[in-house]
């Protein structure tokens, strides 16, 4: 069942305590257990394209203990420039008998296997090493890289040091070895700088390997200290709720991995001001694991509508979304309404005409204007009598030819009814008249170089088409009491959904190779009930219906059952068989056939 109140977490209660020991995936790897290889190079110049390596020095450490060292001179194949020799003390005669870089790389790559690489100004050192490996046909292992320059900028302020050069930081942290532009001594000094920087970052929440990826981000300390809210969250699809001190739901989101998504809120990747403010108020994160991504998206919408979180911008009140309605009165007109309730009902044999809902009032008004620009429909808001009143006068729209003026007898009731029928047909069935009128007007305005006016007509047409399409799609799926569909998932499994009147009522994923029929029977027995909608829409939030329709219209979705009693001729496992190359989803054609009173063709 998808009822958001069916679980304590969804209903607002605090999650039940967990007494299981968390795994390393849950809490991360403590820095004391990480193996670092601190590396430093000496080169003949500043870029790998014009210079070569003359010396490599590296120190392997874990938990403050030195595990090994690596040092060698390297023959660059060219003379060492005099200024480099003066700076480093490495001369051409010193490297003439040294091994070439292609001879050094195999042992160096073995030395760094499985370790996190550390360097001071890491892009320089790692860039040279990657270029050398690529040039000589070695695969670069892609170790995680930590730059002590970036870390030091977060840990040591300019009030404490004038710059973040290695020599300056070595003096500040009183390293055991002073850097002297030789690879091994500089690597040893960088080890002490690394330990000093990490000691300062610990109180800011940088305590695990996973934290280092964003440790250099310009994140306020107060937000970074909230990093613990992500501890223990599941690495699974679902919904997450940020809650405040009094249990108030501040924000609801969805993710394919709850843990990874929540962690991102405490890094520089999250720069929205409202989200920063929300994280500052949050005291806990409540996860709701979902079986499928589809279920997660639907749960998110329902929880937003149920709890109205103040930091969610998505629609929290679908009942207040605007519609464009053709009124039911002797001389109907168009109006924008918030609640779709018949006020007298349609004429005999005619359907109530509504399109939408729209995202906002402006979009609804634009769609209304598109219809009024196409058809000679009255635009006055007063209710007209069947017989024109004596002395009645028409408005300016009649003089401009944009209204048939039924208020003064310009059109009879029958003639006006024909215009209304055309409007209703454009809203509910075929928008071609609206498209043709707007296309012609846009071409004329563009030819006259009146581009701003052309854009206004284009925007009105787009708003109308979006609203009409949404209403038609929702109306079609809402007419069916039940849809059962399946989609291939993973290696031989199926994602199965039950939809009733446009509302997602159940979903499950079957294991690879398992017979899906028992899963379908169980879903149908336990699926949420969805009564027929009383409005010209589905029984669900409009955005939920859109999400469900997008899922159903995927090319690899197979319809298992349409409506109560409408079963596909192909039964059993054959109905679930995925046949690549079948083309588009059969949903639209099947629904049309069912709407016409025919059984759907085999999926």
Q: Which residues are catalytic?
A: 181
The closest of 255, 342, 237, 233 to 291, measured between CA atoms, is 237
Is residue 58 classed as helix, strand or coil in its secondary structure?
strand
Strand segments (E) across 313-425 = 323-326, 334-337, 353-355
On whether the CB atoms of residues 335 and 325 are closer than 8 A, the answer is yes
- Size (the chain), residues: 603
| Rg of the chain over all Cα atoms, to the nearest angstrom | 34
**354 strand-pairing partners:** 325
User: C-alpha distances in angstroms, 170 versus 48, 174, 175, 210?
Assistant: 27, 6, 5, 26
On whether the CB atoms of residues 144 and 113 are closer than 8 A, the answer is no
Is residue 62 classed as helix, strand or coil in its secondary structure?
strand
The closest of 532, 552, 534, 555 to 544, measured between CA atoms, is 552
Token pair recorded at residue 553: 């219209």
**146 strand-pairing partners:** 118
- Matching residue, tokens 């024909």: 418
The closest of 408, 345, 348, 334 to 376, measured between CA atoms, is 334
DSSP assignment string, 88-107: H---HHHHTTSPBHHHHHHH
CB atoms within 10 A of CB 577: 12
Token pair recorded at residue 267: 């890094």
The closest of 112, 113, 118 to 216, measured between CA atoms, is 118
The CA distance from 528 to 446, in Å, is 53
Determine phi and psi for 52, rounding to 5 degrees: -140, 165
The closest of 228, 222, 188 to 208, measured between CA atoms, is 228
The closest of 87, 25, 23, 16 to 54, measured between CA atoms, is 87
CB atoms within 10 A of CB 212: 23
The CA distance from 368 to 189, in Å, is 72
Query: SS3 helix, strand, coil % of the chain, rounded to 5?
Result: 40, 15, 45
DSSP assignment string, 355-377: E---SSHHHHHHHHHHHHHHS--
On whether the CB atoms of residues 98 and 73 are closer than 8 A, the answer is yes
User: C-alpha distances in angstroms, 134 versus 127, 128, 518?
Assistant: 11, 10, 54
Token pair recorded at residue 55: 């010396």
User: What is the distance, to the nearest Å, from the Cα of residue 408 to the centroid of all Cα atoms in its chain?
Assistant: 55
The CA distance from 458 to 198, in Å, is 57
């Amino acid at each position: 069942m998808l009822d958001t109140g069916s679980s304590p977490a969804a209903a607002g209660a605090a999650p039940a305590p967990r007494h299981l020991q968390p795994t390393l995936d849950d809490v991360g790897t403590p820095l004391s257990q990480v193996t670092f290889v601190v590396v430093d190079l000496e080169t003949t110049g500043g870029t790998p394209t014009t210079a070569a390596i003359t010396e490599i020095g590296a120190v392997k450490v874990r938990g403050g203990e030195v595990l090994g060292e690596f040092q060698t001179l390297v023959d660059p194949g060219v003379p060492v420039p005099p200024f480099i020799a003066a700076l480093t003390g490495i001369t051409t005669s010193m490297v003439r008998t040294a091994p070439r870089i292609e001879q050094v790389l195999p042992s160096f790559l073995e030395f760094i296997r499985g370790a996190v690489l550390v360097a001071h100004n890491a892009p320089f050192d790692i860039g040279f090493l990657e270029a050398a490996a690529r040039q000589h046909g070695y695969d670069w292992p892609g170790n995680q890289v930590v730059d002590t320059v970036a870390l030091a900028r977060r840990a040591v302020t300019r009030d404490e040091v004038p710059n973040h050069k290695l020599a300056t930081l070595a003096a500040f942290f009183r390293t055991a070895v002073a850097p002297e532009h030789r690879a091994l001594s500089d690597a040893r000094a960088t080890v002490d700088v690394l330990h000093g920087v990490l000691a300062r970052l610990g109180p800011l929440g940088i305590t695990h390997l996973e934290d280092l990826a964003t440790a250099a981000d310009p994140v306020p300390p107060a937000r970074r200290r909230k990093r613990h809210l992500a501890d223990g969250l599941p690495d699974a699809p679902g919904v997450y709720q940020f809650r405040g001190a009094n249990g108030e739901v501040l924000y609801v989101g969805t993710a394919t991995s709850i843990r990874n998504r929540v962690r991102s809120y405490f890094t520089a990747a999250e720069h929205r001001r409202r989200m920063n403010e929300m994280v500052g108020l949050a005291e806990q994160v409540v996860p709701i694991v979902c079986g499928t991504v589809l279920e997660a998206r639907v749960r998110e919408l329902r929880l937003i509508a149920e709890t109205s979180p103040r930091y969610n911008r998505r629609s929290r009140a679908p009942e207040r979304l605007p519609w464009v309605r053709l009124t039911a009165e002797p001389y109907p007109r168009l109006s924008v309404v918030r609640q779709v309730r018949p006020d007298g009902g349609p004429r005999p044999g005619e359907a109530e005409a509504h399109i939408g809902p729209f995202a906002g009032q402006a979009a609804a008004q634009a769609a209304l204007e598109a219809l009024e620009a196409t058809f000679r429909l009255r635009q006055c808001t007063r209710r007209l009598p069947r017989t024109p009143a004596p002395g009645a006068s028409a408005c300016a729209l009649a003089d401009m030819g944009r209204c048939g003026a039924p208020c003064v007898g310009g059109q009879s009731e029958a003639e006006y009814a024909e215009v209304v029928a055309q409007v209703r047909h454009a809203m509910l069935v075929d928008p071609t008249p609206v498209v043709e009128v707007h296309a012609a007007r846009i071409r004329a305005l563009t030819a006259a170089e009146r581009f701003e006016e052309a854009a206004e007509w284009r925007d009105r047409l787009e708003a109308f088409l979006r609203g009409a399409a949404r209403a038609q799609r929702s109306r079609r799926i809402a007419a069916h009491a039940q849809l059962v569909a399946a989609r291939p998932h993973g290696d031989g499994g199926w994602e199965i959904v039950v939809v009733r009147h446009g509302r997602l009522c159940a979903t499950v994923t079957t294991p690879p190779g398992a017979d899906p029929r028992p899963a379908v029977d169980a879903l149908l027995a336990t699926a949420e009930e969805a009564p027929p909608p009383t409005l010209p829409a589905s029984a669900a939030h409009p955005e939920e219906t859109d999400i469900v329709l997008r899922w159903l219209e995927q090319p690899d979705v197979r319809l298992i059952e349409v409506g109560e009693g409408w079963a596909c001729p192909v039964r059993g496992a054959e109905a679930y068989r995925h046949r690549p190359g079948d083309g588009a989803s059969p949903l639209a054609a099947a629904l049309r056939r069912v709407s016409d009173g025919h059984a759907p063709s085999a999926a």
